[in-house]
Structure 1
Amino acid sequence: MRYRFDGWIAGLGTASGTRLVLGHWPSSPLGPSTDVMVESPAGRRTLLAGTRRLAEFVAATYAFDEVRTVPVEIVRGRTWAVTAGPLRFSFRVGPRGALGRLLRAVPPPLARRPAWIRLIDLPARALLPGVRTYGSAGNGRREWYGAQDLHPITAATAELDGVDLGPLTDVIPPVRFGFGSTPRRPALVRVTTTVASPGFRTAPRSARPA
């Protein structure tokens, strides 16, 4: 069984050593949903998910030390603003560069196709160390990341439990939630994530993102 999540992933680091990965899915088998993965400087991995069903699905696919269902609010634009329980952060998106233009040139139906995604896995690793487009996930699942656009993140602010996490930095060290990391340089990626699972009951799919 294959489940498709269509939306955006943002990965960024902070001067405190905390790294954040946002998954925003206007279209998914679970309805519109958003989650944030947080890795502390000590390596503790926490999932903050907007719904219980999303928390269950993501926790069965990736590795976490703590999973929490919390209220999540998100505002999209040139500047994105996210509140997820105890976490508040915002980031500014810059104009796409050469890699973003290259991704945009691939027809979306092809970019989302698992066979194509497997084909470009090795070139993606060479261009973006730590990044994988295909791999084995938790509980016997397989996963494909079909990137269709990329914008750099040029500035960010973040606080967790009222503590300022410091200014934007690269994602160092790479995050360890799954088989691959986000790009080292903070980025917002337009992506379709396909998960092949032995079985998982889902809600009807929602509309595609605008």
Structure 2
Amino acid sequence: MTGTTTTLDRFDGHIAGLGTAAGLRVVVGRWRRSPLGAFTDVMAERPDGHRLLLAPGPAVAEFVAATYTFDEVRVVPVAATVDGPRWTVRAGPLAATFRTGGRPPLGLLLAAVPTPLATSIPWVSAIDVVARRVLPGVRTRGSATGDRDEFYCARDMHRIVAASVAWDGVDQGALTPVDPPVRFGFGSTPAGPSVVRVTTLIRR
């Protein structure tokens, strides 16, 4: 009789999501602690629906591509620097700067939840019902590819209030909501451009 081993991977960091007038939607994951070390990766969906992963190395590319769905995976230099409210992201064809502002009401609520509760699977599973009703496209738990279960433990949120985004040197226009929702996994980032402080748990 063979037993089954379950692994729970924990990624602590921030997810930034924004849209542009040209139709490009970008999700930046800046992970300070993870089983893969500290890294930044970028998921982008072009106006034609083409989904790309921009990963800083083969190990990140392999893990992320085994968890989410992409039409193309590129291993390229990826860097994100944060100076107060200002983010600067460079990843292959992407050059982006954006600035965060205050917390929306949801951010105030998230920040008030104690960390042990906010990062517990029962809590995240329970609030998924609420997230589905009040944040179109957003899920806090679901099934990823590769027989993996994923849990998004959101712990804080700040609005993105200004952005400059270029793709292959072409300006992508004004900051817009993430609309339509991105299609990398079972859920999207919030429609309102934002940076979310998050702990992501992946059970495999």
Q: TM-score, normalised by structure 1?
A: 0.92
Helix, strand or coil at the partner of 2:146: helix
Alignment of 1:104-119 (within 5 A): 104-119=111-126
In 2, are the aligned partners of 1:33 and 1:51 still within 8 Å (CA)? no
Helix, strand or coil at the partner of 1:125: helix
* Residue identity matched to 2:36: L
Alignment of 1:165-184 (within 5 A): 165-184=172-191
Alignment of 1:1-16 (within 5 A): 1-16=7-22
Match of 2:26 among 7, 11, 20: 20
Whether 1:148 aligns to 2:155 is yes
Helix, strand or coil at the partner of 2:11: strand
* Residue identity matched to 2:137: G
Alignment of 1:179-194 (within 5 A): 179-194=186-201
* Residue identity matched to 1:140: D
- 1:97 shift after superposition: 2.1
Match of 2:144 among 126, 137, 141: 137
Structure 1: gaps of 5 or more residues: 198-210
Whether 1:37 aligns to 2:43 is yes
Question: Which runs of structure 1 show a deviation greater than 2 angstroms over 4 or more consecutive aligned residues?
Answer: none
Return the alpha-carbon distance in structure 2 between the equivalents of residues 97 and 137 of structure 1. 29
Helix, strand or coil at the partner of 1:139: coil
- 1:85 shift after superposition: 1.4
Return the alpha-carbon distance in structure 1 between the equivalents of residues 71 and 51 of structure 2. 5
Return the alpha-carbon distance in structure 1 between the equivalents of residues 80 and 185 of structure 2. 24
- 1:135 shift after superposition: 0.1
| Identity percentage of aligned residues | 59
- 1:51 shift after superposition: 1.8
Alignment of 1:68-87 (within 5 A): 68-76=74-82, 77-87=84-94
* Residue identity matched to 2:26: L
Q: Identify the residue that residue 102 of structure 1 maps to in structure 2.
A: 109
In 2, are the aligned partners of 1:130 and 1:180 still within 8 Å (CA)? yes
Return the alpha-carbon distance in structure 2 between the equivalents of residues 125 and 152 of structure 1. 20
Match of 1:49 among 55, 60, 77: 55
- 1:126 shift after superposition: 1.6
- 1:22 shift after superposition: 0.5
- 1:124 shift after superposition: 1.2
Structure 2: gaps of 5 or more residues: 1-6
Helix, strand or coil at the partner of 1:148: strand
- 1:74 shift after superposition: 1.2
* Residue identity matched to 2:152: Y
Query: What RMSD over aligned residues (CA atoms) do the two structures have, in Å?
Result: 0.7
Q: TM-score, normalised by structure 2?
A: 0.95
